[in-house]
Amino acid sequence: MGSRPNFRIETSEGQSGLTIKLAGELDSATSTQLLACVERALAALDGRALLIDLDGVSFIDSSGLRALILIERRAEDERIALAIAPAPAAVTELLHVTGLGDRLPLTPRTQDSAPAGPFLERIEIPLPRDADAPARARAELRQAIAGRLSDRDSAAATLLTSELVTNAVIHPGHAVGGSVALRITTYPDRVRVEVTDDGPGFAPQGLPPRRPRDAGGHGLIVVDGLSSRWGTARRRVGESEGFCVWFELDADPERIAAGSKQVDAGDERVAAEP
C-alpha cells in the first residue's frame, strides 16, 4: 500500500504468477515505491510471470515511465516473463504524444518574454522542496485551470507542471534550500506556468546537469514536445534571485474566458492585473 492517499499498490498471487496493481498518480515520489515492490516480487517469483496492471493509474510522468523501463530491463535480466497492462486511454495517449523515448537536443522555442496584454488571473504558491511537491503542484494547477482548457490540454498542462516541479526539487542538489515557487497565469488565449528555485540553473540549449541514476525522468523532453513555447529566466523571489523555467500552452480563448468566470473572487491567491 502506498503512503500517499491517492496512490495504491496492491499485489495478488495466482497459479501463473504475481500481479502488481497500481492506482493513482505514478510520479517521482511514488515510482520509488513501485520499484521497491517489484524488487521484492522478483525475489519471490521463482520463475513465474509478473503482471504490472496500470488500469487504475490516473497520471504518469517521465519518472514513472522510467521506472517501468527499469522494471522491464530488470525482468529481462532475471529472465522473468513480464506483462504490463496499459493505463487508461487518455494517459497512454499522452505518453505516446510526448515521445519520452527520444533523445533529442532541446532548444527553447522562443526567448523568454511575458505575453503581451493583461492577464485574467494569477496564482503564486510556495511549495516545500520535498518529494510531494509535484503532487501538490498538480492539485493547484488542476484547480487553477478547471474549465479553462480541453481535457487534452489540461492533461498536458498537468504533466508539464509536474515535470518542472520535479526538476526543481531534484536538480539543484541537497545543499540548495528554500522552497519552489509556482506561478500560474491565465491570459485570454493561453496559460503560462513558471517554476522557480534557488539553484544555479542550466543552459537552455541542453539538458540540465546529470542527476543520480534513480532520480528519473527526461522532463524537458516532455516540455519541449508538448508546450506551445518554453524557456528559462532569472527571476526574483522574495529577497533572492532564482532560476525559472516556464512554459505556455495556447488555448481556445472562449474556453479560457468561460473558465475565468468560475473563479472565486474571494480566493486570496488570485490577483487580477489592474
pTM, entire model: 0.69
pLDDT at 255 over 60: yes
Give 193 or 55, the one with higher predicted confidence: 193
Residue 77: the pLDDT is: 85
Residue 231: the pLDDT is: 84
pLDDT in tens, 92-109: 777 766 655 343 344 454
Instruction: Select, from the ranges 76-85, 213-222, 233-242, the one with the highest average predicted confidence (pLDDT).
Output: 76-85
pLDDT at 265 over 60: no
Give 242 or 31, the one with higher predicted confidence: 31
| Separation between Cα atoms, residue 141 and residue 78, nearest integer Å | 41
pLDDT at 270 over 70: no
pLDDT in tens, 142-157: 999 988 888 889 999 9
Rounded to the nearest angstrom, the gap between the alpha carbon of residue 230 and the centroid of all alpha carbons in its chain is: 15
Give 15 or 179, the one with higher predicted confidence: 179
Give 188 or 95, the one with higher predicted confidence: 188
Give 252 or 143, the one with higher predicted confidence: 143
Structural contact between residues 122 and 131, judged by C-beta atoms closer than 8 angstroms: no
Query: What domains lie within the chain, and their CATH numbers?
Result: 8-98 (3.30.750.24), 121-271 (3.30.565.10)
Residue 256: the pLDDT is: 61
Sheet strands (E) in the chain: 8-13, 17-26, 49-60, 82-85, 121-128, 179-187, 190-197, 229-237, 240-250, 270-271
Q: What is the mean pLDDT of the chain?
A: 76
- The DSSP code sequence of 9-70 is EEEEE-SSEEEEEEEEEESTTTHHHHHHHHHHHHHHHTT-EEEEEEEEEEEE-HHHHHHHHH
Question: Which residue type does 139 have?
Answer: A
Residue 195: the pLDDT is: 94
pLDDT at 205 over 70: no
The proportion of the chain whose per-residue pLDDT surpasses 70, expressed as a percent, equals: 69
**Between the CA of residue 200 and those of 73, 119, 150, 196, 252, what are the distances in Å?**
34, 29, 35, 11, 36
Task: Give the burial string for 124-134 (b: 16+ CB within 10 Å, else e).
Answer: ebebebebbbb
Residue 175: the pLDDT is: 52
Span 110-120, average pLDDT: 60
Which alpha helices (H) appear in 179-249, and where do they start and end? 219-226
